[in-house]
A and B are shown apart, each in its own frame.
Chain A
Amino acid sequence: MSSFTLDNLVTLLRQATGEADLEAAEHFADTTFTDLGYDSLVLLETAGQISRNYGVVLSDDDLEQIETPRELVERVNAGV
């Protein structure tokens, strides 16, 4: 597994949110999940997919601290 990219995250978020046409708009990476309209359940569902697909398990503490897509991508890559 080389790395986990923002595009990979967008693909997972499409499944978790049901938004098939979701695209990373400008400033997406640095906008908080709250401001993007994604609640903690979307993050939990996404974390489940990351664990299944990339073998990186994010703890509850991780999920509480991660606020933006960029932070999530960096945290996953640190664990790959």
Chain B
Amino acid sequence: MSATRVAGCAITGLGVVAPTGIGVPEYWQATTSGRSGIHPVTRFDASGYVGGLAGEVPGFTAADHIPARLLPQTDHVTRLSLVAASEALSSSGLHAESVAEFGIGISTASTLGGFEFGQRELEHLWGLGREHVSAYQSFAWFYAVNTGQVSIRHGLRGPGSTVVTDQAGGLDALGAARRQVRGGTPVVVAGAVDGGLCPLGWAGFQSAGRLSRDADPASAYTPFAASADGHVPGEGGAYLIVEDSEHAAARGAHVLGTITGYAATFDPDPEDPVADGLSRAAVLALDDAGVDTTDIDVVFPDAAGHAPADRAEAAAIIGLFGPGGVPISIPKTGTGRLLAGAGTLDAASALLAIESSVIPPAATHLPPHEGLDLVTEPRATRVRHALVLARGSGGFNAALVVSAPDAHSD
């Protein structure tokens, strides 16, 4: 019954820019080795600011990756975004010309837009006068800028959207992409690359009061540890090619996995001890995927690194899976928290875990947790279904289930 067919959502391409590597091979090599990309900030003089460690994308020279024409009009994060989106598209084997004119859409998430670009133009505005503000400021700072620049560069004329739900955004962008595919768009470039490693961004992180004060990269970001005192911020993320399974099969595409479940919930106060939004999102996503907790081979948690939020998340996971009931993989300990980039990078890691049958370890030393099976060494095991969790400041919760291509639950 094709009229009532619900499109399956295959993932047929992947692109990554992360503090632990540019490009999927480099990222996965570092991640499965437990290598960390967290170091003292180099992008600006961070002395005098709280913290001082960050996950910066290393060795990135924009001019090596994107056309000169785009340089004056793009923020650093948009440049990183263009690189990840290009890798995702080229790894999928798709070309915009070979798909129907409006057949490729784009769905991104952003928390800060082009923050560093905006900071510089604010300096021009107040330091030199309004006539010194670049015409490109009109869009370069904006949350939707990556959706625009990626779609223009690759000629994507399908539906475009941007969601802004802080750190939950990466998963919400994938959920939005799935909705578009189910609605008849064969392909959606989906994900998020985010960050704001500049003085203005840092001032915002600092005022939120969640930055770790620990100056040692090996211990600054240790979610779920009793000693956890905050997180380290980072930049980067991932793009996925979300494709109608039949479309992917018809062109013989390599399928990395499928999005089988997604849900989002909202808590007025996510740190309220009775708030259960994260747990509800996980249950709804599992139901949506048609799987039980026993089918889930690994969980990639939000891992705030902030004691009350960690306790709430641990309680939600233990409540669903039982004590030590599922491996917990936290590669973001090696990247820092990437805002909206985090959820899609974790989804990418889940797909790579499925493909390579390795659950990546934490990149910092995590002490044993009485209720959570924290993965601290690479773990060779078959992964059929993975659950990814993310929370955004203000009460956003999102959960995503990705499954092996052959792991049909029905």
Contact = CB atoms under 8 A, between A and B. Distances in A.
A22 B174 CA distance: 40
Interface in B40-78: 68-73
A52 B135 CA distance: 13
Chain B binding site: helix, strand, loop or mixed by DSSP? helix
Interface stretch (A3-11, A13-21, A23-31, A66-74): A13-21
B135 A41 contact: yes
B134 A45 contact: yes
Nearest to B138: A41
A39 to B, nearest CB: 10
Contacts of B69: 17-19
Chain A binding site: helix, strand, loop or mixed by DSSP? helix
Interface residues of A, number: 13
B136 A41 contact: yes
A41 B74 CA distance: 13
A20 B136 contact: no
B410 to A, nearest CB: 50
Given A41-B136, A45-B136, A52 B131 contact: yes
B120 interface: no
Interface residues of B, number: 13
B369 interface: no
A41 B73 CA distance: 9
Nearest to B132: A52
B90 to A, nearest CB: 23
A51 B135 contact: no
Contacts of B73: 18, 41
A45 B71 CA distance: 13
Given A41-B136, A45-B136, A18 B71 contact: yes
B68 A18 contact: yes
Contact of B135 (A17, A18, A19, A48): A48
A7 to B, nearest CB: 20
B131 A51 contact: yes
Q: Which of A18, A19, A45, A48 has the most CB of B within 10 A?
A: A18
Interface in A47-70: 47-48, 51-52
A37 B68 CA distance: 13
Contacts of B132: 48, 52
Given A17-B69, A48-B132, 14 more contacts: A15-B72, A16-B72, A17-B72, A18-B68, A18-B69, A18-B71, A18-B72, A20-B68, A44-B135, A45-B72, A45-B134, A47-B135, A48-B131, A51-B131
Closest 10 CB pairs of A and B: A44-B135, A18-B71, A45-B135, A18-B68, A18-B72, A19-B68, A51-B131, A18-B69, A41-B135, A17-B69
